[in-house]
Amino acid sequence: MRFHRSEAALLLVDLQRGFLHPNGFVAAQGRDVSGCAAAARQCCALARIARDAGMPVIWTRHVLRPDHADGGLLTTELRPRLGQIGALAHGTADVEIPAEAGVEAGDFVLDKPRYSAFFGTALDMLLGARGIRALMVGGVTTSMCVESSVRDAAQRDIRTFVVRDAVADFDAARHAASLSAMAFGFARLIGAGAAAEAIAAGTAEFPAT
C-alpha cells in the first residue's frame, strides 16, 4: 500500500487527560495509563513532523453531554460504569487534550459521541473537502476508538496506516489482538520511525505483512 503525503492526514484519536493522566478517570479505576502516555508522546512528535511537512493534523475527543443523555447503550448497558462516574462529560478536565500535546491553531479538533472518529462528526466532510484519501493513525485505546476508526476508514476505501508504537491500550491482550485484526484486514502497521520518514519523504510503499 502506497502512502502519499499530498493526499494524507494524521489522525490522533482521543489523547485526552482522562485516558493519559495519572489523575484521570481511567487511572482512578486502577488501570495503568503509562503505556497510553508513552503512545501520546509519539503522537505529539508525529504531529510536529506532519505540520512541518504541510500535512493536516486531526485530533478527536470522546465527549458526551454532562447528563450522558447522548451516550446510548454505551453508558446505559454496555459500559454503565462510564455513566455512573460521569466519565467523558463535556466541561470536565478529563475530556481535554493536555496543553503539552501542542495542539495548534491550524489543527482540526473533532468531538465524537461514540468510539469511531467517523460517527456523528464532520470527519467525512473534512476529508472530502481536502481531498484526503489516506490516514496515518495514532491514539488510544487500540482496541476501542482506534480500531473502530480504522475499520470505518478502511471501509470508505481510505488507505490507513496505523503507527504501532503510537497506539496503546490498558490491556496487553486486547492491544495485541486489535493490532492483529487491523493488520489482517484494515490497515498497514508501521513504526514511528517509518512514519516520520514517509511524511518527510512525501511517499513510501508499505507491503502487506
For residue 205 the three cell numbers come to: 510503499
Query: Which contiguous run of DSSP H or E holds residue 178?
Result: helix 172-185
**Can you give 19-61 as a three-state secondary structure string?**
HHCCCCHHHHCCCCCHHHHHHHHHHHHHHHHHHHCCCCEEEEE
Residues designated as active site: 14, 112, 145
Instruction: Number of helices (H) and strands (E) in the chain: give both, helices first.
Output: 9, 8
Task: Give the whole-angstrom CA distance, residue 41 versus residue 36.
Answer: 9
How many beta carbons lie within 10 A of that of residue 99, not counting itself? 8
The residues, ordered by sequence, that sit 6+ positions from 16 with a Cβ below 8 Å of its Cβ are 24, 61, 62, 94, 95, 96, 97
Task: Give the whole-angstrom CA distance, residue 94 versus residue 132.
Answer: 30
Task: Give the whole-angstrom CA distance, residue 58 versus residue 103.
Answer: 9
Task: Give the whole-angstrom CA distance, residue 147 versus residue 178.
Answer: 7
